[in-house]
Chains A and B, each alone.
Chain A
Amino acid sequence: AQSVTQLDSHVSVSEGTPVLLRCNYSSSYSPSLFWYVQHPNKGLQLLLKYTSAATLVKGINGFEAEFKKSETSFHLTKPSAHMSDAAEYFCVVSDGTNAGKSTFGDGTTLTVKP
């Protein structure tokens, strides 16, 4: 069984300050982990993924995430927030055994203040 918990439903930062969106996962197998972003009235866009290669993963738009097996975490970070980063972010886990079935976290709404 697989599950994912996004620890913050809302995060608010000022433009130019760091972003941290937290995600913990549970999986019976070696998981693949993803972060997706959803802008208002838009579809889901893949930010980055972890699939058992390097534990520090770099994604698009300056985002990165670190896979920490001992902490079962996959937190998303960005050094400096931009107004365009305001969106809903989803942490997703797939253990690769169920024909790619993914389990989504509840989502974190990121607000960026000018």
Chain B
Amino acid sequence: EPEVTQTPSHQVTQMGQEVILRCVPISNHLYFYWYRQILGQKVEFLVSFYNNEISEKSEIFDDQFSVERPDGSNFTLKIRSTKLEDSAMYFCASSETVGQMYTEAFFGQGTRLTVV
């Protein structure tokens, strides 16, 4: 069964450092997303991406964040200068649409980011 894969599963970084989280969406999907889940809190939408541009972003997704689809298969989330409060589980997801209907998003296993 096709799946979304994320690497690494766990990343530890020092405050102020740049970090790149990587995702390989399902190959025929066209919509890509990042969500995050701070420990003990709900899953929050960060950004959606379609046709090589951001479709929508939340207020969390400030100038420190960026997304890219560098090579047609990977989808990355970059945090330029990490803060302690960026520590969270980050989920990548992808989906396709059938006409105007949105199909379910397939989620990766997540990358646990720990900022120290």
Query: Which residues of A are at the interface with B, using a C-beta cutoff of 8 A?
Result: 32, 34, 36, 42-46, 49, 51-52, 90, 94, 96, 98-107
Contact = CB atoms under 8 A, between A and B. Distances in A.
Nearest to A32: B102
A73 to B, nearest CB: 19
Contacts of B45: 101-103
A106 B42 contact: yes
Contact of B109 (A43, A90, A106): A43
What's the interface size class on B, roughly?
Answer: 20 to 34
Given A43-B91, A43-B110, A96-B100, A102 B42 contact: no
A99 B48 contact: yes
Given A32-B102, A104-B44, A106-B42, A99 B107 contact: no
Contact of A98 (B35, B56, B91): B56
B104 A96 contact: no
Nearest to A103: B45
Contacts, number: 62
A101 B42 contact: no
A39 to B, nearest CB: 11
Interface residues of B: mostly helix, strand, loop or mixed?
strand
A94 B91 CA distance: 17
A49 to B, nearest CB: 5
B75 interface: no
B25 interface: no
A49 B35 CA distance: 19
Contact of B104 (A43, A46, A98): A46
23 contacts: A32-B101, A36-B107, A43-B91, A43-B110, A44-B91, A49-B104, A51-B101, A51-B102, A51-B103, A96-B101, A96-B102, A98-B55, A98-B56, A99-B31, A99-B48, A100-B48, A100-B95, A101-B48, A102-B45, A102-B105, A104-B35, A104-B44, A107-B42
A48 B105 CA distance: 12
Interface in B33-82: 33, 35, 42-45, 48, 50, 55-56
B55 A99 contact: yes
